Structure 1
Amino acid sequence: MDPPTGLSILIVGAGIAGLAAATALRQQGHQVEVFERSRLAEEVGAAIHLTPNANGALKRIGVDTRKYGAVKTEKYREYDINGRANHSMDVAEISQKWQHEWLLIHRAHLHDALKDKAIGAGKGKPAVLHTSCKIAEVDVHNASITLEDGKSFHGDLVLGADGVHAFTRRYVADESVKPFSSGSNAFRFLIPRQVVLDDPEVADLVEVDGTCQTWRHFDKRIVVYPCVNNTMLNLVCIHPDNLTSVGINQGWDQGVSKETLKETFKEFDPRALRILDKADPESIRIFPLLDMENLPEWTNDRLALVGDAAHPFLPYRASGGAMAIEDGLCLSILLPGDIKKDDVPARLKLYEEARQERVFNILQYTRDSATRPVGAEESARVFAYIFDHDEWDYSTEFLRRHLRAQNPQLYYRQPTVFGPMPGPRQDFRGRDRVAASVKSTFRTASIQFKTSRTYLKNLLPNTSYSFPGSGSVAHATLSQTTLDGMDWLAGGGYNHLGLYIHGVQHKGAGGQITEGLYLPVLFEDLTDAIISGREELGFPKVYSDIDIDNRRDSYAVTAGWRGAVWGRMSLTGLKEGQTSGSPQPSKMFVHRYMPSVGMEHRGTPEAEYPVVIDFAEESKTVPTKITRVLTAEKATFEIDGLDWKRLPTLHHIISRLAEVPVYEVLEGKVVEGEGVANVSSARRLHL
């Protein structure tokens, strides 16, 4: 049996926040238990908006609320107290800019949809729902909860999703931090839509499916919109709290008379009052609109608050439920199934960091809407900020950037927006590649020859580079290498071909001397290797086709560009044996040059400096094992400069290489072995 994976997560509260988190987290492979105070774990209240951002978040976890009676918002109308139209919006038309629909759903039906997804069959182990469970204590350090009946449950983290009057909040904030009245109360109730359609005086107000409408007057408003497959109308009637009496700690289910409702809004448009009058007196409820100071912290060690427990919302921007759903989705991204238990407290703080700016901004938008008129332009900006967000994508990128920040030495190459680039020196997770290169193989065919020191001086970048001593003869090597079994290429390989100039020294501004090989150009037949070497190391790499004909006693190399052959190497009469060439230099130079961007900066580099590679350092991380050496009886090469038409991007290089004189071939050989260094010893040589 495979060992269990994932965390053990205890969620206090089975409302929208708790069940959304439970669903998202079980799908990540965690074992989730939910503890609900009520007996049936049923969501109370009337209807709720599922704005495009909320609906999109639900779809990410497989919740399709249209199957539970959700209604698509089609139109929005706003009237003044006398029934004059202030504003009208065709939501169906503007919704084309959103990926997801703006829906309206009964809260109980949303709760059913989330509960079915949390505890039903599907991805991950179903969450376990405990009902009639009143929490008596939370141990934030050991992630355990104790019920009033004395039972204890232990996990790896606890989520406080127990609503606006959360018990769990006391473990994160001072107990003096409590919700308070915003200055308004609200009536809420449902009426059958058909009852309104049957009344010719008001039927036109609700004849179009999915129509939301609001009557507004200073600190009062009546909001009407459909739900339950357009068969019911949800009404919310907001007013100053000094006009009605309501218990601030008694929740959503406080009864109130129909007469109180009508008296509170008696000055409103008669058509609005006609709709109010259709309410069943037994169905009318009243509740306080609560606010709370922004909590600077939502977490404490292994406890995190979600939804109203962390940030209760006023109902002006349709975002209370949406933010609760986004909280759960964010947590599921930041807590993947393979997360280590020791990382939980840090990831919960990361959740707090990821969510607070957005939540606090929207909280302020709701408060502004409650206290002052909001113009059309400002309202459009607010809607865009709320609706255009995708929490899945946002949290995924937030986690990526966090993980990258843990390793400031990651290699980035264009295009950087996709993250650090895997290559010879780091894998796709940003880990250094070292040991994996030990089993990589190489085969190098080289021809060392005498040539003109005077000519080779012209291939040195500047006067900081020179040949020590006197004389007119220098040594150089034309070397072709085939690499294979490269870990960073998933076991594949490539070819490169370069000219190496022996006995070059670099003199720094302070007089310090460094000696080694100098590499003026390196041709490669794999663009990935070229980009990596140029951007990370400053190597002078360019592309060329390189073809190998490897026989028992001969070795031939052909180099070209799109069918135009510009170079050939030939080693014949190969026999097992020892080399007689000069000792391998300990260091090698390349000269990094990065051009500036912009035609006005032509000729001015963004960066220019020497880079040195220390072969001794390279061998410490990846030792080289030579398995075979073949020496050639005859070794030759020829380079044809061709012309600009044949080599439109390489002629300036190849024509110069074709001019390099060959005074004498000193040695031709083929060396095979294991262990390919990743050139991680390359360092900028300080001037």
Structure 2
Amino acid sequence: MSTTANSLHVLIVGGGIGGLTAAIALRKQGHQVEIFEQSRLATETGAAIHLAPNANGVLKRLGIFAERGGANPMERLTEYTDGGKLKRSMDLTEDNKRWQHEWLLAHRVDLHNQLKEAVQTPAEDGSVIAFHTASRVTSVDAATGTVVLADGSQHTGDVIVGADGVHSVTRSALPGAHTVRAEASGKSAFRFLVPRNAALADPETAGFCTRPGELCIWYGADRRIVLYPTSHNSVLNFVLIHPTEESAEEAERGGEAEGRETWGQQTHNLDRMLQVYAGFDPAILKLLAKADPQSVRVWKLLDMAEIPSWHTERLALLGDAAHPFLPHQGQGGGVAIEDAASLAVVLPADVSAEEVPARLALYDEIRHGRATRIQQYSRLAGQDRADGDARSVANGNTGKAAFDMYGFTDYNFGHDEWDNSTQRLREWTWNRMESPYWRMPIAFGPMPGPRQTHLGLPRDGTRSTFTTASIRFKTSRTVLQNLFPPGRSGWRFTAPDTVAYASFAQTTLNKMHWLGGSGYKHFGLYVHGVEYVGSPDGTVVRGTYMPILFESLTDPIVSGREELGMPKLYTSVDVYRREHSYRIRTGWEGAQWGNFLLQDLQQLQGKDALESARGGISGENDAGILVYKYIPKTGRQNKNVAAEEYPVFDPFAEAVPTPQPKRVYTTSKASFSIDPLDWEQLPTMHHIIARLAELPVYEIVGGKVVEGEGVPDVSGARPI
């Protein structure tokens, strides 16, 4: 997106991973960006970094593919006692398929170089990011958006992003934050790299690195060794966490420069490290001894109390400046990347400078709780195990909650911050409207257009006919769950995976008695594997969630909305049925927005085929349909007051009459495309079609056409 006269001028303090990611994302949003980095080369210290799915997905969205820089997949986790006894070894290749993005092990310098290259490369519109090195910021004025450099020069913008790390200067500008400092946690870490070939050449150490993408941990009572490969599995990265007092002299010799942390780099660090881990398995000690003495560094692990707010006026913090992380989950860099994504989302191209303080407050609201929670998980993951057990924390020993690795992983990995923040920004915008007019389907926000009337007519669908064509596809759980009723609790997916399944289904109804023997067509989005858990008795209701159902005739739209709570709207539905193909085109007043095609249809034979086709209007054998009913209260004086509002479930087991499939056709060759067009072409529904067009398609699972007799009247639909 091009920068415009209305774009913001953003000043980023710090050129580390978080700062560079923010720069790339904010330029993508159309803003003018400057970076101020205190070092001359902005070289990332450290050795390797975890790019878990939650972080890797953000980078990929920004055009950063870490695997091109040498990052390799995380494929196995193996844990040992300090004496070398194998505790467990888990193949993660299947588990990783749960996540829509890869879990990568990257060389930190390689990733930093990729980010720098992206920052220093002009965008397609020619816009550049000004990257000022050797530019140490000494103070900031959050009210005016001004940063002051060590040479006395001043730079003013609309936004200041404090990405200047654990010893942040920008943090001191937050009210009350100057009293909060990063403190030693009591643990330090030796860090270094060893060429993988050196380990493979030794029979005693080769077994630790024969399998690609394997992360190994040796647990002692109060210390541990973490080993994993990076750079296309050519380099082994080591992190050795231990009590600080055992290497305090080395860390102190390394010293701390003013405003930033440095690492001890004395040649005798290697000897001291081998002493600290003298009681460990001789084989791993032999591998440690292969380190270049000049490369072994020791780092004090710092922690910091939660600061109440990450923002004030035109200043917002991200990454370690806001929430320093202990390294025990490998999420420090990832959460900084998430911060950067969220900040960019809440500052889109059309935001004004006057709105900046409110948008930064929203950023804080979106990110603060999640980052703090992962920060606490990292503390739990780093607790000492008195018995060296890698799997749990003994409550009697720590007095704290047990370490739930799977729960932590699901929470950390199962998140897409760009999509999450996009939804939060939508809801924030809706809530700030002076007089929003809400009507179904509320998942898409306040609706334009006049208020609908209702028409209730009984019907007998026993002899009515139906033909349902459906296309099932794999997509993003995060994007789908953003279509859940906003601000209403109780909705969730049955599984925590970040991939989910949905279907577009179109049904042609005919011989409808209540329509004088004629018919109509409907077309909907069906989100599979959803459950509602908000009923008073705690009952879990599972089914397929339907956020939108389009129909081609006014009468069923009105009756379905008002009587049943079905989220219906009008669209034209044109069907072209041929012997082996089925094409659907959807539109409004001549503007075509959807094209759906099933080709090479093959008819199934036998009773089992017909039984498999039984189910609901989604085209799948679902338990029922979940929707959310919202009817505005009548009267101008009652704007934004609901007359009825509750979830509704339509169980197919109670359908009257029961649909009777007659013929079933299937295909593996199905496809669809959605064009959101613009407001002029779709004046009453562009905001909905644009959201449908955002659905990523990871895989078309298949297509199906079912013909039959008996159309239910949906009289079983009821509030939950």
TM-score normalised per structure 2: 0.60
Structure 2 residue identity aligned to 1:129: F
- Structure 2 partner of 1:321: 333
Equivalent position SS for 2:94? helix
CA distance in 2, matches of 1:166, 1:543: 52
Which of residues 161, 185, 188 is equivalent to 2:188?
185
- Structure 2 partner of 1:424: 450
Task: Quickly say closer, same or farther: Cα 1:529–1:382, change in 2 above 3 A.
Answer: same
Does residue 1:364 correspond to 2:359, yes or no?
no
Does residue 1:384 correspond to 2:410, yes or no?
yes
CA distance in 2, matches of 1:543, 1:325: 39
Report the CA distance between 1:532 and its aligned residue.
7.0
* Structure 1 residues 402-413: aligned runs within 5 Å: 402-407=428-433, 409-413=435-439
CA distance in 2, matches of 1:132, 1:88: 46
Equivalent position SS for 1:104? strand
Report the CA distance between 1:175 and its aligned residue.
2.1
Task: Quickly say closer, same or farther: Cα 1:532–1:59, change in 2 above 3 A.
Answer: farther
Does residue 1:266 correspond to 2:278, yes or no?
yes
- 1:214-247 deviation per Cα after TM superposition (whole angstroms, max 9, x unaligned): 1011220001111111111100100001111124
Which of residues 135, 138, 142 is equivalent to 2:144?
142
Larger radius of gyration: 1
Report the CA distance between 1:296 and its aligned residue.
1.0
- Structure 1 partner of 2:308: 296
- 1:544-568 deviation per Cα after TM superposition (whole angstroms, max 9, x unaligned): 9xxxxxxxxxxxxxxxxxxxxxxxx
Equivalent position SS for 1:422? coil
Report the CA distance between 1:417 and its aligned residue.
2.5
Does residue 1:153 correspond to 2:179, yes or no?
no
- 1:110-141 deviation per Cα after TM superposition (whole angstroms, max 9, x unaligned): 10111111221335622110000011221111
Which of residues 245, 253, 264 is equivalent to 1:254?
264
CA distance in 2, matches of 1:607, 1:203: 64
Q: Work out whether residues 145 and 158 of structure 2, in 8 Å CA contact, stay in contact via their aligned partners in 1.
A: yes
Q: Work out whether residues 252 and 286 of structure 1, in 8 Å CA contact, stay in contact via their aligned partners in 2.
A: no
Which of residues 357, 361, 372 is equivalent to 1:345?
357
Structure 1 residue identity aligned to 2:335: M
- Structure 1 partner of 2:527: none
Q: Work out whether residues 13 and 36 of structure 1, in 8 Å CA contact, stay in contact via their aligned partners in 2.
A: yes
Q: Work out whether residues 423 and 532 of structure 1, in 8 Å CA contact, stay in contact via their aligned partners in 2.
A: no
- Structure 1 partner of 2:38: 37
CA distance in 2, matches of 1:16, 1:190: 20
Matched-pair identity in %: 42
- Structure 2 partner of 1:122: 123
* Structure 1 residues 449-464: aligned runs within 5 Å: none
CA distance in 2, matches of 1:36, 1:371: 34
Q: Work out whether residues 3 and 32 of structure 2, in 8 Å CA contact, stay in contact via their aligned partners in 1.
A: no
- Structure 1 partner of 2:218: 215
Report the CA distance between 1:609 and its aligned residue.
12
Q: Work out whether residues 45 and 252 of structure 1, in 8 Å CA contact, stay in contact via their aligned partners in 2.
A: no
Report the CA distance between 1:92 and its aligned residue.
1.2
- Structure 1 partner of 2:233: 230
- 1:571-620 deviation per Cα after TM superposition (whole angstroms, max 9, x unaligned): xxxxxxxxxxxxxxxxxxxxxxxxxxxxxxxxxxx999996899xxxxxx
Deviates more, 1:122-131 or 1:316-325: 122-131
- Structure 2 partner of 1:287: 299
- 1:5-58 deviation per Cα after TM superposition (whole angstroms, max 9, x unaligned): 310000000001100100100000000000000011111111111111111111
- Structure 1 partner of 2:105: 104
Report the CA distance between 1:174 and its aligned residue.
3.2
Structure 2 residue identity aligned to 1:236: V
- 1:253-272 deviation per Cα after TM superposition (whole angstroms, max 9, x unaligned): 31142110100000001111
Equivalent position SS for 2:446? coil
Report the CA distance between 1:543 and its aligned residue.
12
Report the CA distance between 1:396 and its aligned residue.
0.7
Task: Quickly say closer, same or farther: Cα 1:117–1:533, change in 2 above 3 A.
Answer: farther
Structure 2 residue identity aligned to 1:367: R
Q: Work out whether residues 439 and 630 of structure 2, in 8 Å CA contact, stay in contact via their aligned partners in 1.
A: no
Structure 2 residue identity aligned to 1:206: C
- Structure 1 partner of 2:83: 82
Structure 1 residue identity aligned to 2:373: N
Q: Work out whether residues 215 and 221 of structure 1, in 8 Å CA contact, stay in contact via their aligned partners in 2.
A: yes
Does residue 1:330 correspond to 2:357, yes or no?
no
CA distance in 2, matches of 1:301, 1:408: 23
Equivalent position SS for 2:323? coil
Structure 2 residue identity aligned to 1:255: Q
Task: Quickly say closer, same or farther: Cα 1:37–1:610, change in 2 above 3 A.
Answer: closer
Task: Quickly say closer, same or farther: Cα 1:102–1:610, change in 2 above 3 A.
Answer: closer
Equivalent position SS for 2:327? coil
CA distance in 2, matches of 1:543, 1:194: 64
- Structure 1 partner of 2:547: none
Which segments of 5 or more consecutive residues in structure 2 lack a partner in the other structure? 393-402, 458-550, 571-628, 638-656, 658-683, 685-720
Equivalent position SS for 2:294? helix
Pairwise CA RMSD: 3.1
Equivalent position SS for 1:371? coil
Equivalent position SS for 1:281? coil
Q: How many residues align?
A: 456
- 1:270-303 deviation per Cα after TM superposition (whole angstroms, max 9, x unaligned): 1110110100101100010000001111011001
Which segments of 5 or more consecutive residues in structure 1 lack a partner in the other structure? 427-458, 460-524, 545-605, 615-647, 649-677, 679-687
CA distance in 2, matches of 1:2, 1:325: 23
Report the CA distance between 1:167 and its aligned residue.
0.8
Report the CA distance between 1:208 and its aligned residue.
1.0
- Structure 1 partner of 2:24: 23
- Structure 2 partner of 1:415: 441
Equivalent position SS for 1:421? coil
CA distance in 2, matches of 1:113, 1:221: 31
Report the CA distance between 1:306 and its aligned residue.
0.7
CA distance in 2, matches of 1:271, 1:79: 12
Q: Work out whether residues 3 and 31 of structure 2, in 8 Å CA contact, stay in contact via their aligned partners in 1.
A: no
Structure 2 residue identity aligned to 1:87: R
